[in-house]
Structure 1
């Protein structure tokens, strides 16, 4: 298959008191294509000043990876089917709670893509189903992943598909 590399780099900063737990958790994420992203725990998990709300947290990256993977498959299946897609926007949401084993985990991710297309509802639903089945990331996680598509035809309000 293939291998994917991500570098995660953290360094203590002047004035940090690591052993006392008073240190910044901000870090840098580097990807093989050259992208560099500021990383941090969520301020809801680790409060400021030990986190940075401007950094991307692991929970956000998890949700974004599911959303991105679904979108890429959706677009590919639409292209193969000859379905024109004008725009794709997903407001994905992950819920962190205790799982069945009593551990804190992301237990559910809802993908809520809004699709701008002239295709009918049944066609879009079929494309979402195929995308969900093919998504490598969705196939790799144990939390519930649901797709709650929205659709918007040009000049019309979004509605549920």
Structure 2
């Protein structure tokens, strides 16, 4: 098993737009030392110039899916030249409260030389999704838009 760590740091300060409440801004420091400015979503008094936890979850999902896709495509003889995604997460009410209920990944892939047919491409994505640690950790419905 592997362990994964981060540090979250926040200090009380007045909210910039509403001094009657506190700032949601904080810093996440990853194990490698890189820092991410974070806040809550602007819908919840957060700073729109910072990453919010929901963005971090959908980014983690898209990154995990991509990394498995790259490895699987390479093994199948379809080396990837470039890959991009614009994941979208939908926050909704559940019986447990608010949660990410739906995440849509929209990967766009370019290959080095040969392009897999549509069925092979879909199978590689399905296999990547099945193996993705983050997807396996979420209760949100994850959809792929291969459009």
Normalization by structure 2: what TM-score?
A: 0.90
Query: Are the counterparts in 2 of residues 89 and 113 from structure 1 also a CA contact under 8 Å?
Result: yes
Aligned pair partner of 2:67 in 61, 69, 72: 72
1:9-158 equivalent positions in 2, closer than 5 A: 9-13=9-13, 16=14, 22-46=21-45, 51-99=46-94, 101=95, 103-117=97-111, 118-149=115-146
Partners of 1:10 and 1:95 lie apart in 2 by 26
Structure 1 residue matching 2:133: 3-state secondary structure = coil
Q: CA distance change for structure 1 residues 12 and 121 in 2, over 3 Å: closer, same or farther? A: same
* Deviation (angstroms), 1:112: 0.7
Please identify, of 113-122 and 133-142, the stretch whose mean Cα deviation from structure 2 is larger.
Answer: 113-122
Task: Please identify runs of 4+ aligned residues in structure 1 that moved more than 6 A.
Answer: none
Query: Are the counterparts in 2 of residues 42 and 53 from structure 1 also a CA contact under 8 Å?
Result: yes
* Deviation (angstroms), 1:21: 5.3
Gaps of 5+ in 2: none
Q: CA RMSD in A?
A: 1.5
Gaps of 5+ in 1: 150-159
CA-to-aligned-CA distance 1:106-147 (integer Å, 9 cap, x gap)? 100011101112222122111101100000000011111111
Normalization by structure 1: what TM-score?
A: 0.82
